Structure 1
Amino acid sequence: MARHGRLPRTGAGRGVLKLVGAGLAVVLVSSLCVAGVAVWNLTSQIKPGVALEGEENIPEIGAIEGGVNLLLVGSDSGEGNPAYGERGEHLADVTMLLHISEDHSNATVVSFPRDLLVPIPSCDGHSAMSAQKLNSSLSYGGLSCTVETVKDLTGLDIPFAAKIEFDGVIQMSNAVGGVPVCVASDIRDKQIGLYLTAGEHTLSGWDALQFVRTRYGVGDGSDLSRISNQQVFLSSLARTIKSAETLSDPVKVYGLAQAAVSNMEMSNSLQNVTTLASIALALKDIPLDNVNFVRYPGGTGTSGGLSVVIPNKSDASILFDAIAADQPITITGDTGDGSSVDPNAPVEEATPETPETPADPGATGEATAPDATQPPTPTSVELPSTIMGQSAGTYTCSAGQ
């Protein structure tokens, strides 16, 4: 069984290279990964922590032992920045759960629709509610309330959590020199003032923020389409950060780390920079094709006169049972209404196979027994087609309207 958030007992410090992911939420994942290699004085910029039930701290730098479950929340509060206008309730614009497998061979990022109709437990003096939109959990009881809501929904332990604001997305995209995205058809979102023509764009700053926020400019204008559009950004940001141009540039790495710690509210379990580094080291060697972004399954409906997303609990249980059992997943659904596979995606040249040379020239060719010291490879779980998404290694384009 995966040991989510267990403490490492040994391990030497080493550089952090790889990260999983992006968008509002990818920014969170990326931030956490890079923050571990920042100059130590960045710790003075870390905001006060949020207490979570069952959280743990990590005493040494080294890849965290076992699996990790970490909730990433993007707030729409704007933190009083007048550039974002008058904000009402502080809602969870984006809620994503990062799972790193126990053997650190794969990772899954689950996006939860903001309008998903879920029970919300008693939080911060508020009574429990049987059916409310997931995004309201943040206004009821802050980050810890959103964590408890997702824990109840998924049945998973979540010992780590972080919340990021709009400015973090802007600073993250600026730190890497912009994020390239493909737009299949024009995006015209009059609601937030985002206009992008079909083609390739490198987005940074305000444009990057608006891209991950756009709803009425992609797909059918729903939050479900917005999630698949965000995954276009997430996968590209992951590829950008993993590239040598970013990782070999200390200014960019420091900028990523600074964008993380200065714009995030983190659980107490993430307050220590060694904790951030330990999670980053668990992500370091995961291939992009083994980092999957998926969307919690559900369909649109109404409740109390409001448009909501009705959860498909039976199909979702297949996903979360796989995560709980630490099994890799295979996506069988498409990328979603807000995106499509890029027809001009780069194609890797096939590497010619080299004939194997027998270790013993006199070998008879008989099959050898499997190495009993190696653990068996976990069987991949094929997800229902209702669970849409893509890998970080898949090149996709945003589908405008």
Structure 2
Amino acid sequence: MSAESTPEPGIPGESGTTDEAGGGGPRRRPGGRRRRPRARRRGVMIAAWTAAGVVVLGGTGLGYVYVKLNGNIKSVDIDQALGTDRPTKADNGSENILVLGSDTRSGANKKLGGGADDGSARSDTAMIVHVYEGHKSASVVSVPRDTLIDRPECTDTRGGTHDAATGVMFNSAYTTGGAACAVKTVESISGVRMDHYLEVDFSGFEKLIDELGGVEITTTKDIKDPDSHLDLKAGTHTLDGAQALGLVRTRHGVGDGSDLGRIQLQQAFVKALVDQVKDVGLLTSGTKLYALADTATKAVTTDSDLGSLNSLMSFAGGLKGIGAADMNMVTLPVRYDPANPNRVIVEKAKAQQVWTALRNDRPIPRSATEGTATGEAAGVVSSS
């Protein structure tokens, strides 16, 4: 099937694009009355992420609350670690953000990951979020953790150097050298400059969903996975934090049991979260707003440019016009590795279509993801 005509920039999901989580293109939302500046300053500004579904909330203020929330945010100086040998930064206002869901396999995360308490760092979720010029729409590219790639030599944020490696799993970059090596690897395989980095801790994600009062989703099939402690009958559910975390981490309860099926659940959950969070009455309770902001800021690690409450709020505010219908979510084009069905290999020609689209601030063409491995879990979860 050939790609259709190319739509105008910044309108993903129209002719020539695809959306694996829902199949429909974005719709223009009717304009609403602007909030007064005072209300907007006190309001909620949201940036959603994957796979594991991150939400960043912030409220302005002075004194203890501001200092407390500002002190919660952890940041890493990725620009210093990577130096100047990087892809060119776009000059039209578009942005690329690498979003990772991390699990240290220690402390509170031990029971969530089901692994040994060895203190090692793992990244089970990776999404490249491209925000188009004008910040009215976005494309999200999920990168399977099991993708075999060539990892470049990199320097971590502590100054340690890590050798290059050939034919290793994508998530080994984070395990080996943390945030800086993860960004270096993404830039190496894509040729796309990452403007920002956002990492969300799994235990913090669970608490955040609970603070939000849960997220409503509909399952079209039963999902049962003892490994992720998830047992859902087909139907509509309001997931608490533990269930939401189980959903975005399950891989044996849906589809072909691969990481690709899990990615499709993550994409559907992110859309449900983005849609639902608009209806949460946060402005009615300052206490609830503070609890959400406290939990969210404790859960995230950012690049140094976003490492303050003001910077994070400004960044999130720039994304508040992007709803679920404005997001085109795809998976990096891959095929199963003939030598190991638990690994996938990049479909280089199709992947190049994705990277070229992002570099040029254009929608991802439908042809980039046609005929690639999917994990067979599409349509299992949708927003209610």
With normalisation by structure 1, the TM-score equals 0.72
Give the drift of 1:330. Answer: 6.1
Pairing partner for 1:327 from 362, 366, 370: 362
Give the drift of 1:248. Answer: 5.3
Give, as a single letter, the amino acid of the residue that structure 2 aligns with 1:108.
S
Distance 1:230 1:328 in 2: 21
Give the drift of 1:78. Answer: 3.7
Which residue of structure 2 lines up, in the alignment, with residue 339 of structure 1?
A: 378
1:114 aligned onto 2:145: yes
1:215-243 deviation line (CA, Å, top 9, x unaligned): 10011100000000111211111011122
Which residue of structure 2 lines up, in the alignment, with residue 214 of structure 1?
A: 250
Label 1:76 to 1:293 Cα distance change in 2 as closer, same or farther (>3 A).
same
Structure 2 counterparts to residues 163-312 of structure 1, below 5 A: 163-243=199-279, 245-246=281-282, 249-302=285-338, 307-312=342-347
Distance 1:279 1:251 in 2: 23
Label 1:36 to 1:114 Cα distance change in 2 as closer, same or farther (>3 A).
farther
1:161-193 deviation line (CA, Å, top 9, x unaligned): 122221121122112110011111111112233
Whether the 8 Å CA contact 1:322–1:329 is kept in 2: the answer is yes
Q: Structure 1: any 5+ residue segments left out of the alignment? A: 3-11, 57-63, 343-394
1:340-395 deviation line (CA, Å, top 9, x unaligned): 177xxxxxxxxxxxxxxxxxxxxxxxxxxxxxxxxxxxxxxxxxxxxxxxxxxxx4
Distance 2:209 2:201 in 1: 13
1:23-68 deviation line (CA, Å, top 9, x unaligned): 44421xx22xx23658522001122534335999xxxxxxx98122
Give, as a single letter, the amino acid of the residue that structure 2 aligns with 1:319.
V
Label 1:302 to 1:265 Cα distance change in 2 as closer, same or farther (>3 A).
farther
- Give the match's secondary structure for 1:148: helix
Count of residue pairs the alignment pairs up: 323
Give the drift of 1:336. Answer: 6.1
Distance 2:142 2:97 in 1: 12
Give, as a single letter, the amino acid of the residue that structure 2 aligns with 1:105.
K
Pairing partner for 1:35 from 27, 49, 58: 58
Which residue of structure 1 lines up, in the alignment, with residue 111 of structure 2?
A: 83
1:51 aligned onto 2:78: yes
Identify which range, 270-279 or 210-219, moves more after superposition: 270-279
Give the drift of 1:297. Answer: 0.9
Whether the 8 Å CA contact 2:274–2:323 is kept in 1: the answer is no
Whether the 8 Å CA contact 2:50–2:126 is kept in 1: the answer is no
Whether the 8 Å CA contact 2:45–2:58 is kept in 1: the answer is no
1:310-350 deviation line (CA, Å, top 9, x unaligned): 001211221221211112346576986223177xxxxxxxx
Distance 2:100 2:360 in 1: 24
Which residue of structure 2 lines up, in the alignment, with residue 98 of structure 1?
A: 129
Label 1:44 to 1:35 Cα distance change in 2 as closer, same or farther (>3 A).
same
Label 1:249 to 1:232 Cα distance change in 2 as closer, same or farther (>3 A).
farther
Structure 2 counterparts to residues 302-381 of structure 1, below 5 A: 302=338, 307-329=342-364, 337-340=376-379
Structure 2 counterparts to residues 384-395 of structure 1, below 5 A: 395=382
Label 1:244 to 1:202 Cα distance change in 2 as closer, same or farther (>3 A).
closer
- Give the match's secondary structure for 1:74: strand
Give, as a single letter, the amino acid of the residue that structure 1 aligns with 2:249.
R
Distance 1:316 1:250 in 2: 45
Label 1:248 to 1:242 Cα distance change in 2 as closer, same or farther (>3 A).
farther
**Higher Rg:** 1
Identify which range, 86-95 or 327-336, moves more after superposition: 327-336
Label 1:68 to 1:262 Cα distance change in 2 as closer, same or farther (>3 A).
same
Give the drift of 1:119. Answer: 1.2
Whether the 8 Å CA contact 2:201–2:299 is kept in 1: the answer is yes
Which residue of structure 1 lines up, in the alignment, with residue 28 of structure 2?
A: none
Give the drift of 1:69. Answer: 1.2
Whether the 8 Å CA contact 1:17–1:242 is kept in 2: the answer is no
Whether the 8 Å CA contact 1:241–1:247 is kept in 2: the answer is no
Distance 2:252 2:283 in 1: 35
Give, as a single letter, the amino acid of the residue that structure 2 aligns with 1:75.
S
Give the drift of 1:145. Answer: 0.5
How large is the Cα RMSD of the aligned pairs?
3.0
With normalisation by structure 2, the TM-score equals 0.75
Give the drift of 1:214. Answer: 0.5
Label 1:174 to 1:321 Cα distance change in 2 as closer, same or farther (>3 A).
same
